[in-house]
Structure 1
Amino acid sequence: MTERYAALIRPVIDRVYGTARAAGRDRGRAVMEKFGVHPGFILSFYFGLLARPMPADALDSALVYVGTNMADELAAGITVVDDGAWRLTDLGRDLALAIQDAAAEGAEELWARAGLAGVPRLAELVGILLAAGAPTGGPVFAALTPVFEPADASPALSLLSRLGALRHHRADAHKAAWAAAGLTAAEVRELGDGPVRDAIEADTNRRDAPVYECLTEDERLELLAGLGALAG
């Protein structure tokens, strides 16, 4: 049951998160212009980096598909390597906080069109999932949770950050699935439809499913329907 649910909710989570981040893109660009830098690392992982450094193995796993060059962010003085882990400098922290606010404002503006009344409950449910995912999450999920939330965090900020982290429970599961199948990241990118792809997706669902077992069936339906309403 939860394996089917994991497959069903994945595109909904991706759509909600993706459209919300897109809604804050102009605000984010303004922040980056103000700071004079164009980071990728902080932009993608601010909600974890504000809480703790990211271990090198988690960063390598997070960037496995994109191969981002971190030299630019080191040169900009927004990150440093400390005992093998990547952490924010004071400048990087200020930037990350500003990016967080910009992203949350964009999400809140977008989600207000569907009504914000359900957002606190959705944030609560996703928070339950993040706590429950610790035993089954991979290195990136572990590095990003619990997410950083300021004391005055709006429900929209909390939901956006928590969804950002939750996506990596499945992303870690997917990497584990194709690695178990003996494939590389490059081979997965080139993989078309067919039995190999289907087997990897089924294994990904199996590995991702345990995170949803902490919710009752009614709560899983509530989460799916609530996120679906926000997705538009």
Structure 2
Amino acid sequence: MLYAAVIRPVIDRVHVSLRAGARAEVRDLYARRGLTPGLEIDVFAALLDHPVPEAALAARMAYWPFDPEAAEAPGLVERIDGYWHLTEAGRAITLEADRVFAATAERLWSYRPSPSMPGLAAVEAVLPLVQRLLEAGKATGGPVFEALTPVWEPVGASPSALLASRLEALRHHRADAHRAAWGAAGLTVEQIQALEPGPEREAIEAETNRLDAPIYEALDADERLVLLGGLGALADGLSDR
């Protein structure tokens, strides 16, 4: 359980910094078409690979205002027989966005302000470990993790592009654990969002860690250190500030 708690902010830092680094270019990509990023960009790595069940996507969006009809309005996604699909226009723009995220990952993670930082060597070291975690998650993941894996991995994709998509998927294992934890505690979305630090919050986080921990049993102790150290060593855009 301790490892699940320790690695969570490391994974989140890598994911959030990548999204932040790509945000301006992705928004410009949409603006040139008179659009703004929507539902399709939140789960593009899954939608490019396969349709996503409506119920799972609703659970994924539980913390934000979500109107399915409004999500469909721009014409990039549509609901067919209980599943979300990309339209032809949606697939075209998300493929371009995927290339933006891939290029951003390569730019961020290749930066080595110190010789001690491994740069892209860290990406290559952790990539197969993350894939093994995704395989292990088939037995331990919740409904959103199941719905949003596997992810789109085009032929010839760089290790950075692959890691970006796989980390996106891995985060859903913990997200499912968190939803299960506060749901079992009898809380609503509004209540968990308003819950202040204290014993109740700590109990929910502990239960989240317990439910998230089994996925990491796919790695031995040394491999868990490689994963933690490798992800922790990836640059997060400080070179741009």
TM-score, length-normalised on structure 1?
0.96
Instruction: String of CA shifts for 1:163-183, please: whole Å, max 9, x gaps.
Output: 011001000000000000000
| Aligned counterpart in structure 1 of residue 4 of structure 2, from 6, 16, 19 | 6
Cα deviation 1:68-110 (Å, max 9, x = unaligned)? 2233331211111110111101111111111111111111111
Aligned to 1:182: 186
Specify the alignment match of 1:124 in structure 2: 128
CA contact (8 A) 2:108 2:235 kept: no
1:220 aligns with 2:219: no
**What is the CA RMSD across the aligned residues, in angstroms?**
1.1
Deviations 1:184-221 (A, max 9, x none): 11000000011110110000000000110000110000
Contact 1:131 1:146 in 2 (8 A): no
Which of 176, 179, 201 lines up with 1:172 in the alignment? 176
User: How far apart are 1:35 and its partner, in Å?
Assistant: 3.0
Query: What is the CA–CA distance in structure 2 between the aligned matches of 1:76 and 1:197, rounded to whole Å?
Result: 38
The aligned residue for residue 32 of structure 1 is 30
Tell me the CA shift for residue 30 of structure 1: 2.0
- The 3-state SS of whatever aligns with 1:134 is helix
Residues 122 and 234 in structure 2, CA contact (< 8 A), matched pair in contact too: no
Paired residue secondary structure (1:39): coil
Amino acid at match of 1:43: I
Aligned partner of 2:71 in structure 1 is 73
After alignment, is 14-23 or 114-123 more displaced?
114-123
Name the count of aligned residue pairs: 230
> Percentage identity across aligned positions?
51
Residue matched to 2:88: 90
2:161 pairs with 1:157: yes
Q: SS at 1:135's partner residue?
A: helix
TM-score (norm 2): 0.92
Which blocks of at least 5 consecutive residues in structure 1 are unaligned? none
Report the Cα distance in structure 1 between the residues aligned to 2:18 and 2:83, rounded to whole angstroms.
29
- Cα offsets for 1:15-49 (capped at 9, x unmatched): 01111111111221121123332132111110001
Query: How does 1:198-213 map onto structure 2 within 5 Å?
Result: 198-213=202-217
Runs in 1 of length 4+ with deviation above 3 angstroms? none
CA distance in 2, matches of 1:134, 1:215: 15
